[in-house]
Amino acid sequence: MGLNSKIQETLMYQSRLLFKHINVETASDRSLLFTIYTNKVSDHEHFKRAIYQKPHRVLYGAISAPNNFTYSMMIAGDVECSKTGTVSLETLKNPYEPHYHGVMVFSKSDWCCIEPNLSEVIGRIKSAIYDIREVKKPLIDDDGVCTRDMIWIKRFKESTKPRHKFSSSFSNYINYIFKADYHAQKHGIQSYVPSVFPHDLYPPKDKSSSAEPLFNQLCLAEEAFQEQRKKDIN
C-alpha cells in the first residue's frame, strides 16, 4: 500500500530532523519537546532561527557551525483550534494566542552530559529563549509568583495512548508540530511551514549525504505498520 501525502510529509520532516544522528532508533530518548507563546511575529524565519541559535550559544558558547553537529530542532507556528476545528484565514493572519511547537534532539554524546543535569539545562534554554523580543514574558503576581509560564519544555515520553496515525508516538508528535500548516496550505499561506535545523541552514550537497535514504527507510517501516493495522481493523 502507498502512504498518503500527510504521512509522507511527516516522515520527510522526521528524516530531516534525524538524519545527522548516529543512533536514530533511540533519538526520541534524547529529545525535548517545547511550546513557546509569542506576541506577533513579523519575520517567522528569522524568529525560528533565533529559537535554534540562542540556546545553542548558551549551551555551547557559539552558534551552530556546518561541521559541528550538536542537536537538531524542528519548529513550526501554531494557532488556536488547529487540532480540532477548521481554522479561518483571519485566525491564521491574526491569531488570538500565537505560539510555536517544536522538538530538540541531542546527539548521544551530548545527552550523556545533559541528562544528569536536565533541570538546569532546561532552565538555561528557557532563559535564552525569553531573551528573544517576540517571546511573551511570564505572568508574575504581586507576590512574585509565576502564575503562567510562556515557555513549556519537557522530555519526550512514549505515549500510552493508541497510535492512531503512525507507528510511533514520536512520529505522532512530529505531525502535531505542524498541524497549523495543513490549514495554512488551504489558504496559500507559507508562514506556518516547519523549519528543521541544522538541515535548513546547511542543506546537504548531494543525495548520498541527504535525508532521502532515511526517509525511504522510515516509509518502509511505516508502510508495514499501516498494512498490519489495516488487517487488524478488518
Q: What is the DSSP string of the chain?
A: -PPPHHHHHHHHHHHHHHTT-S-GGGGGGGEEEEEEEBS--S-HHHHHHHHHHHHHHHHHSS--BTTB--EEEEEEEE-TTTTTSPPPHHHHHS-SS-EEEEEEEE-HHHHHHHGGGHHHHHHHHHHHHHTSTTBPPPEE-TTS-EEE-SEEEEE-----S--SSSSSHHHHHHHHHTHHHHHHHHTT--TT--EEETTTTS--SSGGGSSHHHHHHHHHHHHHHHHHHHHHH-
Binned at pLDDT 50, 70 and 90, residue 228 comes out as confident
Query: What average pLDDT is seen over the chain?
Result: 90
Binned at pLDDT 50, 70 and 90, residue 174 comes out as very high
Domain-wise residue ranges, the chain:
5-228
Give pLDDT tens digits for 53-68: 999 999 999 999 998 9
Give pLDDT tens digits for 194-209: 999 999 999 887 766 6
| pLDDT, average across residues 209-221 | 90
pLDDT at 84: 76
Binned at pLDDT 50, 70 and 90, residue 127 comes out as very high
pLDDT at 162: 58
Asked whether the predicted pLDDT for residue 16 surpasses 90, the reply is yes
| pLDDT, average across residues 29-40 | 96
Asked whether the predicted pLDDT for residue 232 surpasses 80, the reply is no
| pLDDT, average across residues 67-91 | 89
pLDDT at 10: 96
pLDDT at 207: 65
pLDDT at 199: 95
